[in-house]
Chains A and B, each alone.
Chain A
Amino acid sequence: RKEVEQDPGPFNVPEGATVAFNCTYSNSASQSFFWYRQDCRKEPKLLMSVYSSGNEDGRFTAQLNRASQYISLLIRDSKLSDSATYLCAANDYKLSFGAGTTVTVRA
């Protein structure tokens, strides 16, 4: 079993919609997590960090459920520019990434 698993999607949503997806992790000792955004053929760019129960940054909300060992990302009022692959990572000094969730926002 991979250390971090994500629903690959794709999630195909209209502009303005809300989309949410989860990431599960197997190492209960992991203390912090990150969501990175990756555009096609580009490097991952940090979107949000998640240390405690959750974090919110504008239209993006991340929540951490330690009991069930998952992290969620919710995007409100989706924009065309939100189309990307969203990578979840567990931080144990080195990052363990999921395979990514693809989101496509259509006009």
Chain B
Amino acid sequence: DTGVSQDPRHKITKRGQNVTFRCDPISEHNRLYWYRQTLGQGPEFLTYFQNEAQLEKSRLLSDRFSAERPKGSFSTLEIQRTEQGDSAMYLCASSLGAPSLQETQYFGPGTRLLVL
């Protein structure tokens, strides 16, 4: 399978715990994006990377959230001290990174987080 992969697919945690999600983009893609989607809403942008550089962070990304892409390949998203409001589907997407607004983002299957 050469698509975007995410791990784990599901995570149940207790409030206050830390969680980490991983995303492996399509191999030749330079850009990697994280989105969050709650029930009945479209995905909301969290942050994105061009290679290993984190170029933009949404105001939705509180200081409890941190994302890395250390070698410009896979990325991790960590949530510290989880809250019930963090329960959502966390989606990763990747794109080629061509300097064009026409490039397409391809999504992974998502990590569904439930905070109890």
Name A residues whose Cβ lies closer than 8 Å to a Cβ of B: 4, 31-32, 34, 36, 41-46, 49, 51, 87, 89, 91-100
CA distance A51 to B109 in the complex (A): 26
Binds A, one of B14-22, B35-43, B67-75, B80-88: B35-43
Interface size on B, residues (CB 8 A): 22
CA distance A51 to B40 in the complex (A): 27
Name B residues whose Cβ lies closer than 8 Å to a Cβ of A: 33, 35, 40-45, 48, 56, 91, 93, 101-102, 104-110, 112
Main SS class of interface, A: strand
> B101 touching A32 by the CB < 8 A rule?
yes
> B43 touching A31 by the CB < 8 A rule?
no
CA distance A51 to B41 in the complex (A): 24
The 7 closest A-B pairs by CB, nearest first: A97-B42, A43-B107, A94-B45, A31-B101, A32-B101, A32-B102, A97-B43
B56 shortest CB reach to chain A, Å: 7
